[in-house]
Structure 1
Amino acid sequence: MSTSYDITQDKWERFTFSREGRVLTAAITSDHPVNGVDEQMHTELALVFNCLQRDSESDIIILTAKGRAFCAGGDFDWFEEQINHPERFRAIGWDAKQIVTTLLNMEKPILCRMNGAAAGLGATIALLCDIIIADETAKIGDPHVKVGLVAGDGGALIWPQLIGFAKAKELLMTGDLLTAKEAERIGLINYAVPAAELDAKVAELVAKLQANPKWAVRWTKTTANIPLRALAAQLMDASIGWESVSNYLGDRREAVAAFKEKRAPKLTGE
């Protein structure tokens, strides 16, 4: 069986790819103004990290996005479909776990070039990368609770590991967004730089990785991720389960409706 595989030869609707030597850039690419996650993007996110690992022409991955945002979380039209047809939410549970586990299982170093806002699942994906470099004007947060959902798709897993439980629980329960500068200050991300310097900073870090023996770098990353992979195995079934339950609640429906209607939600506690 051939070990050669080129990810760029597959058909992708929500990703575009480019190469520079052994560095592969994967860019989230959609018609949504802030790269909101719809069903197609969610499906491709569950597949892409395995395919990036298998790609035989790359050693380092840069994950970024086209447009003004990195990924601002779930698309509200898709939210409404999930509320009206809860079985559709239930059906994506396996893929939701795959997004987290396949990203953590990657051996290749993956750098997040966070070109704009990262929220909800978008923030989880950014934070599960190995090194996160953000445009200093970008914001990052996990506002699942603001749309009536449990932060079950990886936020409750990764935020406490990066900034401690007290601050992570505050941010997850309030849904507040941070500026990239504040995220850098508290250790949530690695670097927040001016937009004009974003590519140079990414290139600097790529060069540092390339200057070291490939397998030493790759397996050091793999070893460092062992506790995160173990934690994902412990948490993700319950996390996705509780998130699925929250999709049935009345306040979930009201929170989404209020957001779309640009008004304050009338929450009942149900």
Structure 2
Amino acid sequence: MSYNEYQYLIVDVVDRVATVTMNRPDKLNVANARLHTELSTIFDDLQRDADVDVVVLTGAGRAFSAGGDIDWMQEAVDDPESFEQTVSEAKRIIFSLLDLEKPIIAKVNGHAVGLGATLALFCDVIFAAESAKIGDPHVSVGFVAGDGGAVIWPQLIGYARAKEYLLTGDLIPARVAADIGLINHAVPSEALDERVTEFAGRLRNGATKAIRWSKVSANIGLKQLAHSIMDTSMAYESLSNRTADHAEAVAAFREGRTPKFQGK
């Protein structure tokens, strides 16, 4: 399997472990149109790669992923019809993550925000640097948390806590995230690589088929839930893309000011 056509994802396969690195470090690995498209195909490619048994997902530089590119958001505000492709790709990202039979480990080296948080939380086991924060602040830019947050957060921390964080967009320090069960482990930054490498090696050296099929079995309910929610949540996110509040939030972000929401 060749991954040479990917522009913003670096894929390194060593000893049957594929490390996938989101590679826009100067932009904190936020998703633009091209990276979003690549995320919608990479997990299918990894499923087909016979040389890979375990996957690690991480980000280059000081962030895992800080969410969506604000310039890309402006393009969608200016051309709402273009958001239809985003909706289609967003569903493919989630469904392909859940369909990937090989265990996938999130190595959250820095902040995981918005789509970045969604990507991390849909992985099977999540290790985060203690310095990292995790959150889904879609509402902060006048967006519905439609790209997977409404699916995964309640399953990990319960509906009451999930709704508190999804409705406020507050970021959670990694240690707190681990304590409430949002992620598996918060570790010192200097120990993150070693801990993930050790765990990936343990899975690689295990009974591969038993591990894969255990993941498949555990994911059945989550896949059913995702298929029942994603159409609606992404439809609402598409509607929110057309609101005055979202346009105001994007403009305010680009102008370096606080948005003034009017509920429109």
TM-score normalised by L of structure 2: 0.97
Aligned 1:1-270 pairs, distance under 5 A: 6-8=1-3, 10-30=4-24, 32-270=26-264
Identity, % of aligned positions = 50
The size of the alignment, in residue pairs, is 264
Aligned partner letter, 1:11: E
- In the TM superposition, residue 24 of structure 1 has moved relative to its aligned partner by 1.1
For 1:91 and 1:27, locate their aligned partners in 2 and report how far apart those are by CA, in whole Å: 23
Cα contact 2:25–2:60 (8 A) shared by 1 = no
- In the TM superposition, residue 236 of structure 1 has moved relative to its aligned partner by 0.7
For 1:132 and 1:251, locate their aligned partners in 2 and report how far apart those are by CA, in whole Å: 33
Cα contact 1:83–1:253 (8 A) shared by 2 = yes
For 1:7 and 1:110, locate their aligned partners in 2 and report how far apart those are by CA, in whole Å: 19
For 2:201 and 2:50, locate their aligned partners in 1 and report how far apart those are by CA, in whole Å: 20
Cα contact 2:16–2:52 (8 A) shared by 1 = yes
Q: What are structure 2's unaligned runs of at least 5 residues? A: none
SS in 1 for 2:58: strand
SS in 2 for 1:263: coil
For 1:158 and 1:28, locate their aligned partners in 2 and report how far apart those are by CA, in whole Å: 21
Alignment correspondent of 1:3: none
Aligned partner letter, 1:55: D
RMSD over equivalenced CA pairs, Å: 1.1
For 1:64 and 1:7, locate their aligned partners in 2 and report how far apart those are by CA, in whole Å: 19
Cα contact 1:33–1:67 (8 A) shared by 2 = no
Structure 1 outlier segments of 4+, above 4 Å: none
Cα contact 1:137–1:180 (8 A) shared by 2 = yes
Cα contact 1:254–1:265 (8 A) shared by 2 = yes
- In the TM superposition, residue 212 of structure 1 has moved relative to its aligned partner by 2.4
- In the TM superposition, residue 267 of structure 1 has moved relative to its aligned partner by 1.3
For 2:222 and 2:65, locate their aligned partners in 1 and report how far apart those are by CA, in whole Å: 22
For 2:11 and 2:237, locate their aligned partners in 1 and report how far apart those are by CA, in whole Å: 32
Which whole-Å deviations, capped at 9, do the CAs of 1:96-137 have from their partners, x for residues lacking one? 100000000000000011111111111000000000001110
